[in-house]
Structure 1
Amino acid sequence: MDKRKSALLAIILLLVAGFFLFDLGQYLDLASLKAQHAALDGRVAAHPWLAGGLFFLIYVLVTALSLPGAALMTLVGGALFGLLGGTLLVSFASTLGATLAMLISRFLLRDWVQARFSQRLAGIDQGIAREGAAYLFALRLVPVFPFFLINLAMGLTKLPARTFWWVSQLGMLPGTLVYVNAGRELGQLDSLAGILSPGLLGAFVLLGLLPLLSRKALDWFKARKVYAGWVKPRRFDRNLVVIGAGSGGLVSAYIAAAVKARVTLIEKHRMGGDCLNTGCVPSKALIRSARLANELKKAERLGFKPVGGEVDFAAVMQRVQRVVATVEPHDSVERYTGLGVEVIEGEARITSPWSVEVNGQSLSTRAIVIATGASPLVPEIPGIEQIAPLTSDNVWALREQPRRLLVLGGGPIGCELAQAFQRLGCGVTLVQRNQRLLPREDPDASSAVLAGLRADGVDVRLQHKAVRFEVVDGQRRLVCMNMADDSEAAIAFDQVLLALGRVANVNGFGAEELGLEVRDNGTLATDGYLATRFPNIFAVGDVTSPYQFTHTSAHQAWYAAVNGLFGGLKRFKVDYRVIPWATFTDPEVAHVGLNEQDAKAKGIACEVTRFGIDDLDRAIADEAAHGYVKVLTEPGKDRILGVTIVGEHAGDLIAEYVAAMKHGLGLNKILGTIHIYPTLAEANKYAAGEWKRAHAPATALHWLARFHRWRLGSGGKNEAASPLKADGRLS
């Protein structure tokens, strides 16, 4: 820290220390000021300009140093200087003091914070540059956070000081008026009977209503700004129009119909979306067939003579389509029409915040839900146009088995399909750019999946970057770079499957014309209520979600539908606190909440408890004795912060922890719950038992051991009978 910063910091510390050392806060106490009210009134009357100047300077000093008492001084301003004089003094003094506090924070702290948290601040600075004034105005108008915290926090951003000043001046003015008015009424109180005066009661009612009125006013101003240039219909044909009939769209429409709203669901392709047609359902059907092929190889371990089973690849892929067709009625037009949803098959286009056009028909609606989903990412790799790559959209049309299948991508989709096709007889090579598979999971979970894939024969190439595709003598090849040693390798293949992630579908339905914002990651920008820049247009599912899972889309759909239908009365913020997911490889990996790598990255202290499933009776009986349950808890407490399960049926076992985290149940509750023996679910109880054993009250158990020996008549001298180890744990 340079000399200027050190000097300023020393002055501030001396002033703050003096404030508390000399107990100056006693003069900013309501009772003290009330007792001296008459004397202060006299001084103000005798020397109004001097009194006003001193009050102004003291207010600026208190605010600039973030000392307690600014709210009380606002009341004093009303009591001593009246509504007009008090408002002028407080308004300008508070703004000047707040600006000084912001500049002090910027001068002393920004460089230090920037050096340590530059990546996190970069995104914040981008947001501040884009709409910092509006954000600050909202904070000032609706006092969600203490004003002094806003001053200090804004100092860490790049918001210009002049912008901070004028926005604060305007944003704090309504609150200043209400508080000064309350102080004026208090100043006129001569007896306890005056407490019941209409003026004083009205002032306190205004104080109570200020946050609500401010929020309503802010929403009104924002709506006027965002809807400027659009003509709102006087009447509407529908309460809700939903675009897209995937998981998020179907659930949104279902909820609207359930509460008797008039809702229209528009789908341009196939009902059920990706999950039914190209995602969850077909992939799990494929994995089931692949699991049987793998089970046949384990026949001898279960007491059978070697069992032969030849894979009929075309029949397997046909079965996948049969499963899709069997599930299809659940998401059909007929079913949703029967539920009261108007279903229109066609391409929708939003033409205004309240109208959607489809098949040449214009539908007026109070609210719109966008559920257009996402599509597989097809990267711009040189030569890719020569090889007609497969994706999760079209791989299900395969009927001829590829002898050599190349999978690009080591995320959940890539790992699941690579293992499944390998077990069905394809020779699979998986190319992953990162150092490990499943980078969102802990390294030990990634290692378990890597071992599982390699045990099945998948050729996994980690730290390999795709450079180009080429066709040499009629043979397809991928040239990739080994990032570990910068060497090149050519991998021959018959078919290539791209599993490199998904891109939100944000084009083609009018989002551009309405100016709907798109985030840096390509998803549609929404607020905490899932609303876009237009408060009546919402988005759910893969088009906006940070979690591209079917169950998350359905979870979001409730919030979007309810906020769209009842937002004028009550809105609900979407809750992402407990979002589980699973990767259906062998072994399965299931996850909810924090994992170890997230906790370390975020600096969250936690304890880790681990139970090995290889020690579980049912797992041993099922020849499934591998994997683990890992639970993260608050230090010294049984509150669950996150869980990772690796092993068979991990996706099913995680549900108990999801429910526990959702409803605030700790490991003690899980330990006290009866689990059927022998089941895999006992692993959850035993993990809780491991935590309990680590937190056993050693001292109490030691004295209990002595008590029981005494009852045996040993007189407490037989120390050899103690069940405690030297470190205090149970033996």
Structure 2
Amino acid sequence: MVVQKIKTAIIGTGTAGLNAYRAVKSLGKTILIEGGQYGTTCARVGCMPSKLLIAAADSAHHTAIAPQFGVHPKDIKIDGAKVMDRVKRERDRFVGFVLESVENIPTEDRLIGRAEFIAPMALKVNNQILEAERIIIATGSRTVYPEYLKPVMPKVITNEEVFYLNDLPKSLLVIGTGVIGLELAQAFHRLGVRVTVVGRGGRIGIFSDPSLRQYAAEHLEKTMDFVANAKFKDLRLGGDGVLGLISRNGSEFQEESWEYILCAAGRVSNVDSLNLKDSGLRLNHLGLPQFNRQTLQCSELPVFLCGDVTNEFQLLHEASDEGRHAGLNALNYPNLSPIQRRSPLNIAFTDPQMAISGQAYSDLVPESFVTGRVSFENQGRSRIMLINHGLMHVYADKETTRFLGAEIYGPQAEHLAHLLSWSHQMKLTIPQMLDMPFYHPVIEEGLRTALRDAEQKLK
């Protein structure tokens, strides 16, 4: 078996791995190892194809509500095959950009194969052994499947398969009320698919604030077949899909059927095939390497963990930052520096959109903050555009008046969230934020209402 001594081995060529490579390659011989296919999760099966599907769904929804404005479109038809064709075509275009960046990496720096540790700082890939001075693990994550789905797995799909469908499904049971589940459930629902989306334990998207969770759950129940707490019995293959008994929020079990089950019940780190027991790294209760959240170093070895595999921030901009920092710390080892994290920013592209800027409600110390509130139901610009649904809470420190964070369920929350995360990163106070200009009539006036409410409670 061939033995090759190298400076750095990077396991995984997603967003984190590619950014790590760019940062560390000047150290010397660096090899990128890919166990699957090139193309990031975001481009191939995540952010980009889901937004393409949502764009089609938004178009259908705007057409459906047009009569409320006095506009009556005729002969509306949703062509599922054409919807999915555009999703796949544009998705492949985005993937193509990633593939171009990979192809620009020298061939000798790329290796296709599954990596596994055979000793500390030694990896076996195919028929060769890599002895590396540094190792960066950026293997990403994958969907986790509940045990009760085992009997019907031939009809279970995830975000990794759904964007390869040639047509819209006739019906879907979506399991999971996190970001992926809610985004896809609502999009397919608006495109005419019969959708049931179910959760367990009361989780709603990204929210930790009980008031936001309750509001969002009530709104989703009004607008689609949403079940916050569901139980299943006797799931089985039958007809052209899946049959099973479902209990909705404690009700009696009744039999229902769907063409597919879309599983979005959570994600787990891709480390199973790495043979970490021979890595020399300390592992936590999940079997993941213990790592320093500031330096990204694992144990005392020059091994670094970054991206979705950390099971912490499964967001592209965080994976990008972590990959670059892991690469820099590998480059400069043993002189390690802490990662300078940006203010938190998390967005779900549901309608209304969900967002968290700065600290979430669950991160705050009870009794140390006030909450400024605004409902979008009577907010001027939102009502003009018939998107007047939602609630926003902003949190402010009682002593310093500093803006601490916000949770938003509202129209165009993606834009409000950026303003608020920037304000958080600049450590602005509520009075300083209120000194900023607010145009009229805009949705941002709703933010001003929430800030004024917080200011009153700070007095």
TM exceeds 0.5? yes
Give me the whole-angstrom Cα distance separating, in 2, the residues matched to 1:392 and 1:521. Answer: 23
Q: How large is the Cα RMSD of the aligned pairs?
A: 2.9
Offset at 1:415? 1.0
Q: 1:638 aligns with which of 401, 404, 408?
A: 401
Indicate yes or no: 2:370 matched with 1:607.
yes
Of Structure 1 and Structure 2, the greater strand share is in 2
Q: Does 1:514 align with 2:279?
A: yes
- For the residue of structure 1 that corresponds to 2:414, the secondary structure is helix
Aligned with 1:648 (options 396, 411, 420) = 411
SS of alignment partner, residue 163 of structure 2: helix
Question: Structure 1 pair 585/555, CA: closer, same or farther in 2 (3 Å)?
Answer: same
Deviation at 1:694, TM superposition (A): 4.6
Match of 1:669 among 410, 425, 432: 432
Distance change >3 Å, CA 609–CA 363, structure 1 → 2: same
TM-score normalized by the length of structure 2: 0.89
Cα distance in 2 for residues equivalent to 1:274 and 1:604: 40
Counterpart Cα distance in 2 of 1:473 and 1:348: 41
Q: Percent identity?
A: 26
Structure 1 equivalent of residue 257 of structure 2: 492
Q: Single out whichever of 527-536 and 516-525 deviates more from structure 2.
A: 516-525
Residue of structure 1 in register with 2:382 after alignment: 619
The aligned runs of 1:29-428 (5 Å cut-off) are: 237-238=6-7, 240-257=8-25, 262-334=29-101, 337=104, 342-381=109-148, 384-385=151-152, 387-428=154-195
Q: Which residue of 2 aligns with 1:478?
A: 244
Inter-partner Cα distance in structure 2 for 1:460 and 1:373:
30
The one-character-per-residue Cα deviations of 1:423-459 (angstroms, maximum 9, x if unpaired) are 1111111122224533743233334433443444x22
CA 1:521–1:295: 2 relative to 1, 3 Å: farther
Partner of 2:392: 629
Q: How far is 1:307 from its partner?
A: 4.2
Q: Does the CA-based 8 Å contact 1:271-1:333 persist in structure 2?
A: no
Shift of 1:385: 4.1
Q: CA deviation at 1:402?
A: 2.4
1:493 is displaced (CA, Å) by 1.3
Offset at residue 695 of structure 1 (A): 4.7
Given that residues 347 and 354 in structure 2 are in contact (C-alpha distance below 8 angstroms), is that contact kept between their aligned partners in structure 1? yes
Report the Cα offset of residue 311 of structure 1.
Answer: 1.0
Whole-angstrom distance in 1 between the partners of 2:241 and 2:420? 50
Where does residue 712 of structure 1 map in the other structure? Answer: none
Per the alignment, do residues 674 and 483 of structure 1 end up closer, same or farther by CA in structure 2, a change over 3 Å counting?
closer
SS at match of 2:420: helix
Q: 1:401 to 1:462 in 2, by over 3 A?
A: same
Query: Do the aligned partners of residues 260 and 488 (structure 1) sit closer, same or farther apart at CA in structure 2, a change above 3 Å counting?
Result: same
Structure 2 vs 1, CA of residues 435 and 357 (structure 1 numbering), >3 Å: closer, same or farther? closer
Contact 1:383 1:468 in 2 (8 A): no
SS at match of 2:326: helix
Distance (whole Å) between structure 2 residues aligned to residue 576 and residue 269 of structure 1: 30
Q: Deviations over 1:273-318 (max 9, x none)?
A: 3221111111111111111110101212334124442111121112
Find the counterpart in structure 1 of residue 337 from structure 2.
572
Deviations 1:194-225 (A, max 9, x none): xxxxxxxxxxxxxxxxxxxxxxxxxxxxxxxx
Q: Provide closer, same or farther for how the CA distance between residues 480 and 625 of structure 1 changes in structure 2, counting only shifts above 3 A.
A: closer
Aligned mates of 1:281, 1:321 — CA distance in 2? 10
Question: How much does 1:260 deviate?
Answer: 6.7
Query: Aligned letter for 1:505?
Result: N
Distance 1:595 1:586 in 2: 20
Greater fraction of residues in helix: 1
- SS of 2:383 mapped into structure 1: helix
- C-alpha separation in 2, matches of 1:286 and 1:463: 26
> Taking structure 1 as the reference length, what is the TM-score of the superposition?
0.57
**Alignment match, 2:322:** 556
Report the 3-state secondary structure (helix = DSSP H, G, I; strand = E; otherwise coil) of the residue aligned with 2:231.
Answer: strand
Aligned to 1:691: 454
Write the distance in 2 (CA, Å) between the matches of 1:386 and 1:367: 39
How far apart, CA to CA, are the structure 2 residues paired with 1:382 and 1:472? 14
Contact 1:475 1:492 in 2 (8 A): yes
Contact 2:155–2:242 (8 Å) recurs in 1:
no
Letter in 1 for 2:405: G
- 8 Å CA contact 1:532–1:538 kept in 2: the answer is yes
Q: Tell me which structure has the larger Cα radius of gyration.
A: 1
Does residue 545 of the first structure (1) align with residue 314 of the second (2)? no
Instruction: Describe the shift of the 1:452–1:245 C-alpha distance in structure 2 as closer, same or farther (beyond 3 A).
Output: farther
- Asked if the contact 1:242–1:264 (Cα under 8 Å) also holds between the matched residues in 2, the reply is yes
Specify whether residues 662 and 386 from structure 1 end up closer, same or farther in structure 2 by C-alpha distance, changes over 3 A only.
Answer: closer
Q: CA contact under 8 A between 2:17 and 2:323: conserved in structure 1?
A: yes
* 1:420-439 alignment runs, 5 A limit: 420-435=187-202, 437-438=204-205
Contact 1:540–1:560 (CA under 8 A) maintained in structure 2: yes
Please give the alpha-carbon distance, in whole angstroms, between the structure 1 residues aligned to 2:241 and 2:138: 41
Answering whether residue 301 of structure 2 is matched by residue 532 of structure 1, we say: no
Which residue identity lines up with residue 61 of structure 2 in the other structure? Answer: N
Can you list the C-alpha shifts for 1:592-617, whole angstroms capped at 9, x where unaligned? 34344554xx5352100113334544
Deviation at 1:524, TM superposition (A): 3.7
Does the Cα contact within 8 Å between 1:581 and 1:592 map onto a contact in 2?
yes
Aligned residue in 2 for 1:659: 422
Secondary structure of the structure 2 residue equivalent to 1:330: helix
Name whichever of 244-253 and 496-505 sits farther off: 244-253
Other-structure match for 2:269: 504
1:281 is paired with a residue whose SS is helix
Matching residue of 2:230 = 464
> Residues 455 and 289 of structure 1: is their aligned pair in 2 closer, same or farther, counting only changes over 3 Å?
farther
SS in 2 for 1:638: coil
**Matched residues in 2 for 1:255 and 1:336: separation?**
17
Distance, in Å, in 2 between the alignment partners of 1:241 and 1:436 is 38
* Total equivalences in the alignment: 456
Q: Does 1:594 pair with 2:363? A: no
- 1:461–1:686: structure 2 CA closer, same or farther, 3 Å change rule? closer
Mind listing any 5+ residue stretches in structure 2 that lack a counterpart?
A: none
CA displacement at 1:468 relative to structure 2: 3.4
Cα 1:268–1:475 shift into 2, 3 Å: closer
